[in-house]
Structure 1
Amino acid sequence: MYNITLDTGTTNTRVTLWKNQEVIDKVSREIGVRNTAIDGNNFKLKNAVKEAISEILDNNNLKLDEVNKIIASGMITSNVGLIEVPHLRAPAGIEDLAEGMVEHCIPDVVNKEIWFVPGVKNSVNEVTLENCEAMDIMRGEEVETIGLLERLNAKGPVLVILPGSHSKFVSVDREGKITGCLTSLSGELISVITNNTIIASSLKHSLTSEFNRKMVLEGYKNGEKTGLNRTIFLVRILDQFTNLSINDKANFLLGAVLSADLKAIKNSHALEVSSESNVIVAGKDILKQSFKAIIEEDGYFKNIEVVNSKQLDSLAGFGALCIAKKRGLI
């Protein structure tokens, strides 16, 4: 049985062909909802999805009627995607996501129904200046979270860490329901600091190339003690008065920025976590190692699991398939 999953983010769209739960082929396009936001229409996104589906079928000598279901997740369900599907309110588990799936046919994309998985929003009735910090939203990370819980057979309470340009932190309760999410701009912030501030000259516009535990922890400790703004400038101090390498200084900056993330995780009203929460860390290797290092140094969370690259492969698509299976579609 063949199925296709669509995963659209800000800048990329990934189309995956599955046979049962095995990846057969992948096709991607450097088109995402960013293009819709810029252009004021979703023509490029529609065309990208159409071309990618056609390509993956041609590559595998398949006809569309040989595909059982097409399942979409991520920003493709937003107002700048293909169709807007309202967020589900947390707490939301795999059963809720399955029930919330929406079927829609878009003939100028593909002549077959697409099943869209909704995103999840935190449970805040009316957002005000006083409670806005408790509110957050996600589209895509909910299927990744479900996929990780399934692949790892993880039991709650769990904190899932999904670092990236926009890092997401997701809390899951003992019943396996997503209770909240928290978004950080840590990845974007590091990029801006590295390329568009006075610190750029100290780093030669370079990000971390190799994990250095000592430097990450030094950045983390300074961030905890004197705050992020001061610690960022210390990168220039280290450049001027020490012989540390560019990679050392980049690790120091990374640790400083992640210190603010850990502070948010422990103090934000957007998440429901405690010292008993099991921590699952995903993402690229340097980010996984860095998060693990500062969490261990902090000591609040006791159980930390770092996800290997195999477990992260086609994670959004796998999570979407798990949800579709719960709906009885596959």
Structure 2
Amino acid sequence: AVLVLPGSHTKFVSVGADGRIAGCLTTITGELLASIMHDTIIADSVKRTFVEADTYRREMVLRGYRAAREVGLSRACFSGRILNQFAVKDHTLIANFILGAALQNDLYALRHSTAIACGPDARVIVAGKSPFREAFADLMEREGCWRSVRSYEPEGGAPLSALGAYLLAEASLAKEAEKKGK
């Protein structure tokens, strides 16, 4: 299985059948996206805002992804600016377009990585915050390069870091109790 954990530094973690980490890959797409949205000529087109859960638009993310796949990230971003100036005035739609363009680099890195096994038989689990989680899952499903793609959100919406800390604490307490019982 491959776990996708998007964020400022997106992590891809390959997990073997034994449950152990088999490989990992990290990108800085979240940071690049923040720079594009705040510190470039694109900032005006997106009103310096990110896509939020309630403004996520799958079709625009897919359009941005396809544009970056065809002409590269920088040209796709500039295409977002042109779209905003002449055709699409809604800045949230342009932000979705830019999100898709940025994520294209991550999927390219994943498919071509030698650090992580992510072939066509891989099962992919995408976790993390919305809308990154939805965008990755939608793009990966659309690509059709993996056996299955599933989006995961912990019950109650707890952050994965909190859930992980809880599970580690629980395992540590169980180990301590086991030692005392011997």
Tell me the CA shift for residue 296 of structure 1: 1.0
Tell me the CA shift for residue 322 of structure 1: 5.5
Change (3 A) 1:271 1:322: farther
Out of 58, 61, 64, the position equivalent to 1:219 is 64
- Greater Rg over alpha carbons, structure: 1
**Aligned-residue CA RMSD (Å):** 1.7
Change (3 A) 1:297 1:192: same
Residues 1:321 and 2:169 are matched in the alignment = yes
Q: Identity over aligned residues, as a percent?
A: 37
Out of 164, 180, 184, the position equivalent to 2:23 is 180
CA distance in 2, matches of 1:268, 1:325: 38
Out of 33, 37, 57, the position equivalent to 1:190 is 33
Report which of the two has the higher share of helix.
Answer: 2
- Segments of structure 2 that go 5 or more residues without pairing to the other structure are 178-182
Tell me the CA shift for residue 311 of structure 1: 6.8
Report the counterpart of residue 96 of structure 1 in structure 2: none
SS at match of 2:24: strand
CA distance in 2, matches of 1:329, 1:270: 35
User: Runs of at least 4 residues of structure 1 off by over 4 A?
Assistant: none
Residues 1:159 and 2:2 are matched in the alignment = yes
Counterpart contact for 2:10–2:26, Cα < 8 Å: yes
Counterpart contact for 2:14–2:23, Cα < 8 Å: yes
SS at match of 2:176: coil
Report which of the two has the higher share of strand.
Answer: 1
Counterpart contact for 1:170–1:180, Cα < 8 Å: yes
1:1-330 map, 5 Å:
158-209=1-52, 210-310=55-155, 313=158, 314-321=162-169, 323-324=171-172, 328-330=175-177
CA distance in 2, matches of 1:311, 1:276: 31
Counterpart contact for 1:171–1:180, Cα < 8 Å: yes
TM-score (norm 1): 0.50
Tell me the CA shift for residue 309 of structure 1: 3.9
TM-score (norm 2): 0.88
Report the counterpart of residue 83 of structure 1 in structure 2: none
SS at match of 1:285: coil
Counterpart contact for 2:45–2:81, Cα < 8 Å: yes
Report the counterpart of residue 61 of structure 1 in structure 2: none
Number of residue equivalences: 172
